[in-house]
């Protein structure tokens, strides 16, 4: 069900399946809105979870409200305010691509709230100089000048699913509101921050991802205290959209294996 919450600095638009199951909060990529989770939300609900996905501030239906809070805020803080608004118990947190940046930011900060963490197809936006140099080589100006669909959607999906590709293009086109600024991290992501993540972590890479290839993701994932590692084949940066069956199966198996936390 599509709803709105008036939170500090934003009228946040979100979807919440409700129910008594363990909550799973889904953070979308920079190129898209909570609609990118339309292939995950029904599967999670059918598996007994309460799925919650929101449009970040300035994207989709979430509108900044300067009169009620500072701008542009951070995704992690908006998530925290939404969790307060919904009175959520400890929840599972899932972020893909740019949503993975924010998921790491929140999980490092609110260790008491995050029951498990899943980060998919994301370079993590780390401030480490070695990774910054690597990002620059992976995504030079010529690469960034390409249409988003060529940068982010895998070649196999574009070739075999033109309808799904057209849907992705439309979601990307309608995602960011004109003039809306990107929200920064609450604090810069770093390898040192990862040491604070004590909950179970699943890292999902996509073998045809041009932004966050598996070899890059392994560099930052190695700094987690513990994690499970999965590579989904024949998928690009939009892994959950391109290969939903494989993505859902791996995610749900991981979530089911996480032991309940106190108060959950």
pLDDT of residue 259: 77
Q: Of 23, 16, 75, 80, which is closest to residue 261 (Cα–Cα)?
A: 23
pLDDT (tens digit per residue) in 30-76: 999 999 999 999 999 999 999 999 999 999 999 999 999 999 999 99
Cα distances (Å, whole numbers) of residue 81 to 12, 78, 182, 198, 258: 10, 5, 18, 22, 25
Model confidence band, residue 1 (pLDDT cutoffs 50, 70, 90): confident
Q: Which DSSP string corresponds to 39-98?
A: TTHHHHHHTT-EEEEEPPTTBTT-EE-GGGS-SS--HHHHHHHHHHHHT--SEEEEEETH
Q: Tell me the HSE value of 43 on the side-chain side, using a 13 A CA sphere.
A: 16
Instruction: Tell whether domain 2-257 is in CATH 3.40.50.1820.
Output: yes
Stretch 209-234: mean pLDDT, rounded? 97
Instruction: Record the pTM.
Output: 0.97
pLDDT (tens digit, 9 = 90+) per residue, 113-172? Answer: 999 999 999 999 999 999 999 999 999 999 999 999 999 999 999 999 999 999 999 999
């Amino acid at each position: 069900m599509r709803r709105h919450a008036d939170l500090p600095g934003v009228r946040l638009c979100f979807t919440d399946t409700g129910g008594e199951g363990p909550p799973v909060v889904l953070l979308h990529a920079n190129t898209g809105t909570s609609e990118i989770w339309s292939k995950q939300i029904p599967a999670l609900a059918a598996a007994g979870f309460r799925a919650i996905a929101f449009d970040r501030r300035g994207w989709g239906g979430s509108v900044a409200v300067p009169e009620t809070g500072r701008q542009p805020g951070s995704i992690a803080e908006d998530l925290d305010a939404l969790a307060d608004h919904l009175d959520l118990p400890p929840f599972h947190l899932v972020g893909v691509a740019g949503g993975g940046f924010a998921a790491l930011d929140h999980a490092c900060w609110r260790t008491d709230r995050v029951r498990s963490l899943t980060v998919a197809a994301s370079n993590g936006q780390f401030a480490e100089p070695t990774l910054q140099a690597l990002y620059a080589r992976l995504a030079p100006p010529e690469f960034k000048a390409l249409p988003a669909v060529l940068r982010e959607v895998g070649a196999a999906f574009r070739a075999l699913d033109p309808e799904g590709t057209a849907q992705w293009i439309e979601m990307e086109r309608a995602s960011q509101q004109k003039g809306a600024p990107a929200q920064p991290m609450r604090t810069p992501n770093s390898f040192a921050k990862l040491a604070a993540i004590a909950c179970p972590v699943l890292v999902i890479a996509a073998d045809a991802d041009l932004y966050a290839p598996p070899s890059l993701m392994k560099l930052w994932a190695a700094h987690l205290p513990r994690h499970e590692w999965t590579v989904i084949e024949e998928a690009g940066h939009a892994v959950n959209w391109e290969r939903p069956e494989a993505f859902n199966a791996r995610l749900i198996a991981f979530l089911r294996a996480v032991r309940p936390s106190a108060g959950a």
